[in-house]
Amino acid sequence: MIPYRTQNLPATPTGIAQAADLLRQGLLVAFPTETVYGLGGDARNGQAVAAIYAAKGRPSFNPLIAHVASAEAAQRFVEWTDEAERLARAFWPGPLSLVLPLRAGHGVSSLVTAGLDTLAVRVPAHPAARALLEAVDGPVAAPSANPSGRISPTTADHVRAGLDGRISAILDDGPCGVGLESTIVGLTGQPALLRPGGVALDRIEAVLGKKLHHHSAGDPLTAPGQLQSHYAPDAPLRLNAAAPEGDEILLGFGPVECDMNLSRDGNLSEAAANLFACLHRLDQTARPIAVSPIPDHGLGAAINDRLRRAAAPRDT
Ligand code: AMP
Ligand code: MG
């Protein structure tokens, strides 16, 4: 990874404008929200989103929340519904994320959605975050700004302690509030609680005038990490393939003879950025898929994790 000199930017108009410029260039900027500091990257730029995973050292690809400046901005990327409108009016800006179907022409990298056809969107309430998002004028993907497996950061110092030299800048606006993550509500069918968080369930139910679907206590699906939906191709997938066999179509990595290549240069960021789009395209061929070996270091670990899940036997 290229070492950065991680700048500290004050949350002044100049600092915010500089942070927005860095994001538009595809670089990473940590910024405060009312929950925790987020590690922001341009959600339309696959390489920027891959860089988020690399900087965090995340061993798997989970869908990320796209942060936007307003409900109007959110509607450029997702299919808006009546229920979305009511929840947005009641709780935005604030710690509520809404999962909605992606809209045609959305332009969001499939690494943000982990290949799903839905997107989680949120308008954060923190003034510096809102000013930054307005200046960027685009969706910013932002998981918490800590190395994977470490505690979420609530100050710029926490961010620096974990990510110094791995990101371009930290927009510093002092400590953030609670550190409780956003509540995530799915609105792709019956409204469902996907993750409890900063906005209480009963307040959401009061606004919708109905109960949210959710898994009852003790249900194994409530365990963190298991609520995530994942895109899996229909076709069988064979990993660590030296060459295709039979009718297989080869998804290559590096300088190999193949039908489609994640990265001819063997660049793991590029491969991560291409991963879900390649799987979708290969799936449309209805042929079994073979995948070249991917080195298991850096982003390769996350790519391999995702491929292993896609290759695992399924119930349906
Ligand atoms: P974090 O960025 O750590 O706050 O976590 C984001 C969470 O949002 C992930 O754990 C996902 O489970 C959830 N999420 C994001 N996008 C989607 C989506 N399209 N469908 C379902 N869950 C999502
Ligand atoms: Mg986190």
Region 85-92: what's the mean pLDDT?
98
Q: Which ranges constitute the DSSP H helices of 212-297?
A: 268-283
pTM score? 0.86
The more confidently predicted of residues 39 and 218 is 39
Give residues with Cβ within 8 angstroms of 109, minimum separation 6. Answer: 43, 44, 45, 46, 48, 49, 141, 273
Give residues with Cβ within 8 angstroms of 75, minimum separation 6. Answer: 103
Which pair of tokens denotes residue 192?
């469902």
The predicted-structure confidence for 89-109, as pLDDT tens digits, reads as follows 999 999 999 999 999 999 999
Which ligand is closest to the CA of 224, given by its number?
1
φ, ψ for residue 30 (rounded to 5)?
-80, 140
Measured CA to CA, the distance from residue 119 to residue 314 in angstroms comes to 24
Region 291-312: what's the mean pLDDT?
88
* Structural domains for the chain: 7-214 (3.90.870.10), 237-311 (3.40.50.11030)
CB of 184 sitting under 6 A from ligand 1: yes
CB of 148 sitting under 6 A from ligand 1: no
* Res 54 pLDDT > 80: yes
Q: How far is the CA of 285 from the centre of ligand 2 (A)?
A: 36
